[in-house]
Amino acid sequence: MIKEEIIHGWTLQLPSEKLVALTNKNDMVGILYNENSFGDLQTLLLSVTEDSVDILSMPHFINKVKITLDKQIILVLSPFILESDQEQKSEHEAPLMIFD
């Protein structure tokens, strides 16, 4: 889990380094999946205040957003994203073997 401090004292917990969080001066937080999106750029968009978080848009790559009383925002990726990440890791780690 990658922890990132964001506005108003909230902490964002990102389950993957492929997620990127952006903030602006209007108390908005956008979380993007920094991977091939095939032209379908979806953003988890949050409106954050001192004492609340509103989810304005929920993309397909996010399964759950957990918000705790101690100002933690915890993201859970969708199962198909987790499977895809695991497949990519195993492709890079497994040696290539060719048999004749």
Task: Give residues with Cβ within 8 angstroms of 49, minimum separation 6.
Answer: 8, 27
Residue 24 corresponds to which tokens in the numbers above? 């602006």
Report the alpha-carbon distance of residue 95 to residue 91 in Å, rounded: 8
pLDDT tens string for the chain (100 positions)? 899 999 999 999 999 888 999 999 999 999 998 876 566 678 999 999 999 999 999 998 899 999 999 999 999 998 887 666 565 655 555 555 556 5
- pLDDT at position 80 is 80
- pLDDT at position 30 is 96
In the block, residue with structure tokens 């996010």: 62
Calculate ∠ Cα 85-91-97, nearest 5°. 165
